[in-house]
Amino acid sequence: MAKANLFVGSLAYATTDDSLNAFFATVGPVVSARVITDRDSGRSKGFGFVEFENEDDNQKAIDQLNGKELDGRTIAISVARPKEDRPRGGNFGGNNDGNSFRQRSW
């Protein structure tokens, strides 16, 4: 069974992986803490994910840290939902069935 990650929302744009890790390490040993960034600009998207060594620390983190302030923002913590398979874009606004391609006239 895959470990459950925590979703952390309402992060300040200044929050880094290291500051997120340090904040959650007060609850227990953190395996990973990652702030999600925009691939083009590199700017934070305002949310991230945290994984603990011990899954019992997930609920402990929610109980102790949800609604607390990190880098000047009140954060929201919940158990992350599994990533859904989504169709890849890139067909210029077609119906995403992978079989259509609408040619643009530039």
- In which band, very low, low, confident or very high, does the pLDDT at 90 lie, cut at 50, 70 and 90? low
Q: Does 33 score more than 90 pLDDT?
A: yes
Q: Comparing C-alpha atoms, which of 29, 34, 78 is closest to residue 54?
A: 29
**CATH 3.30.70.330 describes domain 6-79:** yes
DSSP state letters, 34-48: EEEE-TTT--EEEEE
Task: Note the pTM of the prediction, 2 decimals.
Answer: 0.77
Provide the pLDDT for residue 89: 63
Sequence ranges of the domains in the chain: 6-79
Q: Comparing C-alpha atoms, which of 7, 8, 29 is closest to residue 71?
A: 8
Length of the chain equals 106
Calpha distance 14→42 (Å, rounded): 12
